[in-house]
Amino acid sequence: MKNELIDFTLYLADNALIIGHRNSEWCGHGPVLEQDIAITNISLDLIGQARNFYQYAAQLINEENTEAKATEDTLAYLRDGWDFKNSLLTEHPNGDWAQTITRQFFFSVYQYYLYQQLQNCSNEQIAAIAIKALKEVTYHVKWSSEWMIRLGDGTEESNSRLKKAIDNLWMFTGELFDLSAYESVIYSAWNIDNDKIKNEWESKVKGILEEATLEIPVNATWHQSGGKTGTHSEHLGFLLAEMQSLQRAYPGNEW
Amino acid sequence: MVIIKVGIEQTIQSIWQLLESVCDPEVPVLSVIDLGIIRNIEIENDKVIVTITPTYTGCPAMDVISMSIRMALLEKGFKNIQIKSVLSPAWTTDWVSEKGKEKLAAYGIAPPNTKQVVCSPDAFAEEEAIQCPRCRSYHTKLVSQFGSTACKALYQCEDCKEPFDYFKCH
């Protein structure tokens, strides 16, 4: 159970860090100033969540092995691609604004329903982080939903780009509900209902896509997976190379 | 024994007063007391333990705030200081003091609504009207839920046309 708890905490942390880092790549490049600020604020929230989860994971790792000397920084900056457990969706490159919005929307809705259950779980620290983060995730769901509708029900160009983004990213959504071994152990110990999360996610996504004059790709049932157990797409390596370059070149550097 | 107890109580009271002078670096009119992030102050032997809670999980001001509290205590001669951070119960804008809300409005930031209006996840859900801190009009519009810091949203007044920050409900 202890190892599964560490893995699950790292999964939550890695998801938040990697999508947070992806969003931060928009800093200074957003379509308009207000949205540049919005997406980087969302980054900040997600990286803040990641810090909380990493701090807890580091504490658990150090309790198991006093030699480990794990910290939030070593977990974020000194692990390799195969150690990262984030879902493939979160590492997907930004693409255009429609791709970024779709990625955020799919992910935030997942986080929203997952954290709703985690906030009542028997692990006090995970519950405390979930309660706090849920307030922020609510804003992310609202913001990304509004953009989905604005783009889908916008111009011909925005509609076709959003449609392309949904077709492109849909195959990465199944992994979110495809439980890894460590999730299965945690979910049954904490009475987390994966089917409920999946149903709520599908119904929310379906509703917003309808408002956006689009549909979920019903025929696309095949899904990519592997991220949760460290088998990633080629994109993660490039992301880590950039994100970790400073700590790799100057270990322990502070500024 | 009684004298020592009174001494500790008085010291704790003086620390609460001292922290009135420690401000949020992002919103410098608010003290950490106004913000409601000081959860507890206790003294164990000669150690001062200040328990704080973050406003937002990713708020970069928290490290600066911890440091400022430590500096203020050091200046008053306290040597053994511990700043503890707790997540639960989660901070809410309900903990911003009435005085704090007045200071925010005077500074040009619309204070959080007194009635806690929690953000709804529903797209385009209507928010409660926000009063312009400049001309007091309620005829204002949301520009973006995300402003210059994690705790603020961007608004514009439709009457005096002034853009302003709103310390959003949380």
Which chain A residues have a beta carbon less than 8 Å from that of B170? 135
Burial A204-235 (b: 16+ CB within 10 A, else e): bbeebbebbebeeeeeeeeebbebbebebbee
The domain covering B2-91 belongs, at the CATH homologous superfamily level, to Fe-S cluster assembly (FSCA) (3.30.300.130)
- Cross-chain Cβ contact A136/B121 below 8 Å: no
* Pairing label, strands B47-52, B140-144: unpaired
pLDDT-based confidence at residue A220 (cuts at 50, 70, 90): confident
The answer to whether the beta carbons of residues B92 and B10 sit under 8 Å apart is no
C-alpha span between A95 and A110 (Å, rounded): 21
Q: What pTM does this model have? A: 0.93
Query: Nearest CA to CA, how far is A194 from chain B (Å)?
Result: 21
Instruction: Indicate the domain borders of chain B.
Output: 2-91, 100-167
Mean local confidence (pLDDT), A133-159: 96
Model ipTM value: 0.88
Handedness of CA A1, A107, A48, B27 (dihedral sign): negative
Which chain B residues have a beta carbon less than 8 Å from that of A73? none
**Sequence-separated (6 or more) residues with CB below 8 Å from residue A32:** none
Among A124, A142, A148, select the one facing B121 at the smallest CB separation: A142
C-alpha span between B161 and B140 (Å, rounded): 9
C-alpha span between B30 and B18 (Å, rounded): 14
Per-residue pLDDT tens for A95-114?
999 999 999 999 999 999 99
More confident: B4 or A128: A128
- pLDDT at position B120 is 83
Hey, of B26, B146, B148, B164, which one would you mutate to test binding to chain A, going by the most A CBs within 10 A of its CB?
B146
| CA nearest neighbour of A106 among A184, A206, A20 | A206
- Cross-chain Cβ contact A48/B56 below 8 Å: yes
Residue A166 has pLDDT above 50, yes or no: yes
Mean pLDDT of chain B: 89
Per-residue pLDDT tens for B82-130?
999 999 999 999 999 999 999 999 999 999 987 666 678 888 887 778 9
C-alpha span between B145 and B148 (Å, rounded): 10
- pLDDT at position B128 is 77
Mean pLDDT of chain A: 96
More confident: A78 or B128: A78
pLDDT-based confidence at residue B59 (cuts at 50, 70, 90): confident
Label each residue of chain B as H, E or C.
CHHHHHHHHHHHHHHHHHHCCCECCCCCCCEHHHHCCEEEEEEECCEEEEEECCCCCCCCHHHHHHHHHHHHHHHCCCCCEEEEECCCCCCCHHHCCHHHHHHHHHHCEECCCCCCCCCCCCCCCCCCCCCCCCCCCCCEEEEECCCCCCCEEEEEECCCCCEEEEECCC
- Cross-chain Cβ contact A112/B122 below 8 Å: no
- pLDDT at position B113 is 83
Architecture of the domain defined by A2-249: Up-down Bundle (1.20)
Question: What is the percent of chain A where pLDDT is above 90?
Answer: 95
C-alpha span between A137 and A133 (Å, rounded): 6
pLDDT-based confidence at residue A221 (cuts at 50, 70, 90): confident
Instruction: Indicate the domain borders of chain A.
Output: 2-249
pLDDT-based confidence at residue B51 (cuts at 50, 70, 90): very high
Among B123, B124, B150, select the one facing A41 at the smallest CB separation: B150
pLDDT-based confidence at residue B3 (cuts at 50, 70, 90): very low
CB contacts < 8 A (A, B): 93
- pLDDT at position A218 is 78
